[in-house]
Structure 1
């Protein structure tokens, strides 16, 4: 005989039953984005449970990315925030002629204020996956690594690590925080590399502790990693960038022609 739903419910830990009720309220809109959840004390009294049981229920929801705690204010239903990465045309010459970098253009289109912090420019040995895509030695300081942190309306949304061949980048503006008109792609064109094709490899994963700290990630929120390779008019890879996006604040939009 199949147990009834009520039997299933009674066998679940109290914290999970509380979490399920709150999850259902969020899913149906009874608790809307931005709404404040009842306090731990109120939840415990409402469900006839201990306060630490209510705390565990809230922790479960936070791990799912459904709620977020604001120190001194309480716990609130997370508001969906999406900053879309327009993958199919973000590097187009048409967009570059606006004078804005791809990120600034994407933010501007969505009414968000962009900020980009250059946090490091160093010569180093490349990670294995970067070395393979740039066709450079993995055991030598064969790349220039530029790391930027990106913000939309003051909130951190992505970490970008860009790798260029050191033998091309040395003694150029590519080693400087400000690379001039058209950014790094303008300088790379001056070196003979015109981007004609790009390859994006996309994966979802949990963040490293360092990534979680930079992006201010709540527990349980994953990241989207986009490993981008630029190829020039000769089909040669000349730049690789690793984008690490907050999955709760980023969407990927690709519109591709089908031949």
Structure 2
């Protein structure tokens, strides 16, 4: 074998064919050096190429692990399916369950913040208005982080709906809003692709060269008041946004 590209091609084939499964460790660098008669630097360059492609994750002393690339379909109609006040799942969990996947939502942090210029414009509130900010992680299983979510609510609404606590909202926020008499009426989404920040890459366990899909969702009531601003970020190879049967008139 001549160089790192050839080794990367060999390992890539094993990963794509399923010979190496998600979560499985690659052989140690010293073992790959012996197997293929390559230098340490050459093996490292091959692994780096695979990491940049999103095929593996380097875990330091934990070795190099084949990355889970299970793709989750996220349909627009996931919202209408969770408007009942007594549901057991939120939008992410509902979309995953329909595909036989164990989707979970985890609350990372909840805080009270003041609206800056950007949040003021997006939420339609005065600069300095009190907001409740929730940080969440959408996963497959308990720890495969697929999507990062940052969410903001007007504080008065959050207090009425009991969104200011750190507990997970059973059935999702939409169901909780309906139960409290605040039925969402319309949702707008803006989708963009970009490269991840270092913090996003670390949380999603991807290389900084794996692109992400960033979605900004604004939820309003029938009077046009913004009830929720959500920003989600996910590796582009892990989600598929589905917008079916949209009306043309």
TM-score normalised by structure 2 residue count: 0.77
SS of match in other structure, 1:255: coil
1:53 to partner: Cα distance: 1.4
Which one of the candidate residues 98, 114, 133 is aligned to 1:109?
A: 98
Within a 5 Å distance, the mapping from 1:74-153 to structure 2 comes to: 75=64, 77-86=66-75, 88-93=76-81, 96=84, 98-138=87-127, 140-153=128-141
SS of match in other structure, 2:46: helix
Q: Is the 8 A contact 1:205 1:225 kept in 2?
A: yes
1:200 to partner: Cα distance: 0.8
1:128 to partner: Cα distance: 4.1
Distance in structure 2 (CA, Å) of the matches to 1:215 and 1:31:
24
| Unaligned runs of at least 5 residues, structure 2 | none
SS of match in other structure, 1:81: coil
TM-score normalised by structure 1 residue count: 0.75
In structure 2, the partner of 1:9 is: none
1:160 to partner: Cα distance: 1.7
1:240 to partner: Cα distance: 0.9
| Unaligned runs of at least 5 residues, structure 1 | 1-12
Q: Does 2:247 align with 1:226?
A: no
Distance in structure 1 (CA, Å) of the matches to 2:7 and 2:133:
47
Distance in structure 2 (CA, Å) of the matches to 1:114 and 1:28:
24
Deviates more, 1:224-233 or 1:128-137: 128-137
Distance in structure 2 (CA, Å) of the matches to 1:122 and 1:24:
43
Within a 5 Å distance, the mapping from 1:15-34 to structure 2 comes to: 15-19=4-8, 21-22=9-10, 25=13, 29=17, 33-34=21-22
Q: CA RMSD in A?
A: 3.5
In structure 1, the partner of 2:245 is: 256
